[in-house]
Amino acid sequence: MLPLKGIVNARDLGGNPVGKGFRVKDGLLLRSAHLADATKADLKYLSSLPVSLVIDFRKEEELKGKIDRPIEGAKYVSLPIDASGNAAAGATEEEKKKFSGRKKFDVKKVIVMAAFNEKAKKVAQNMYPVLFFDPDCQAQFAEFFRLVLNAGEGAVLYHCTQGKDRTGIASALLLAALGANRETIVEDFDATNEIYKADVRKYARRVRFFGGKEEKVGVVKSFLGANTDNFVAALDEIDKRYGSLDVYLRGPMGLSDGDIQELRGRYLK
């Protein structure tokens, strides 16, 4: 975890083990939630690393009222990726008001309703397959690699809204390119659930109270945490479609042997 107060789920990929006894260098590849609530101390710390590039995976509608606070000396790049992970998927305005108790709905309360909504369940189940296999998403993640490869000196910080799904997939792909095994990739992805466990437990209890079984609780895990089971299933699907994650990196991600060697030379110790 990074020592930040206003930025949620902020972590350093540094220290993660990769093949042949190497580890990811500290302080160079950083993942987090949005930077809109960053404190002055947070920004000072990040500029001291220094962070030279910030990559934001959020769509335009996610930026309203949540514009990233700038890090001195860092270039900001918008790289929107649509995970189709709207927690209120399938909900009417009337349903939103009913579950929130006020005109401006509380998205977490809506998630309890979404757990019982078939469309929302499909969104939750399909979120990671969309991120891995949708051509537009693949193109954006391939561009993410190009940005990292061209970043030069300094640290790269990449994020979405909560720093869990799009950011989690980007981290998984980066770790795979650096030579990490499946266990390390899954452990890094699942670490997000430690950050959001209180919310997940709270709203999972509410879903169970209304009679929801584990399948419906899984919707809560998808929207408030990171659904690791769905993530592992998506990795298995990559193996079925491409043969391995390594082939996927060299296919849709467009990485050459030279690109992978450059990444490993720059970010491993």
* Cβ burial, residue 194 (10 Å; 0-12/13-18/19+): exposed
pLDDT(72) > 90: yes
Residue 262 has a pLDDT of 98
Residue 123 has a pLDDT of 79
Residue 105 has a pLDDT of 44
Residue 102 has a pLDDT of 41
Domain total in the chain:
1
Residue 30 lies in a domain: yes
Q: Which domain holds residue 77?
A: 11-264
pLDDT(89) > 70: no
Residue 83 has a pLDDT of 82
Residue 112 has a pLDDT of 79
pLDDT(92) > 70: no
Residue 255 lies in a domain: yes
- Supply the pTM of this predicted model: 0.87
pLDDT(27) > 90: yes
Q: Specify whether the CB–CB gap between 227 and 124 falls below 8 A.
A: yes
Residue 1 lies in a domain: no
Residue 6 lies in a domain: no
Q: Summarize pLDDT for 136-177 with one digit per residue, the tens.
A: 999 999 999 999 999 999 999 999 999 999 999 999 999 999
Residue 86 has a pLDDT of 38
pLDDT(60) > 80: yes
Q: What mean pLDDT comes out for the span 100-126?
A: 69
**Which residues contact residue 135 at a Cβ distance below 8 angstroms, ignoring those fewer than 6 apart?**
none
Residue 103 has a pLDDT of 42
CATH number of the CATH domain containing 78: 3.90.190.10
Q: What mean pLDDT comes out for the span 49-78?
A: 97
Res. 116 pLDDT band, cuts 50 70 90: confident
Q: Is the dihedral of CA 97, 99, 104, 105 positive or negative?
A: negative
pLDDT(97) > 50: no
Q: Tokens 């979404």 — which residue?
A: 114
Residue 5 lies in a domain: no
Give the C-alpha distances (Å, rounded to integers) separating 33 from 6, 91, 182, 211.
10, 25, 24, 32
| Short-list 229, 178, 221, CA closest to 201 | 221
Q: Is the dihedral of CA 135, 141, 145, 150 positive or negative?
A: positive
Residue 269 lies in a domain: no
Res. 119 pLDDT band, cuts 50 70 90: confident
Residue 209 lies in a domain: yes
Residue 218 has a pLDDT of 79
Q: Which helix (H) or strand (E) holds 55?
A: strand 51-56
Q: Summarize pLDDT for 171-221 with one digit per residue, the tens.
A: 999 999 999 999 999 999 999 999 999 888 888 888 887 788 888 887 777
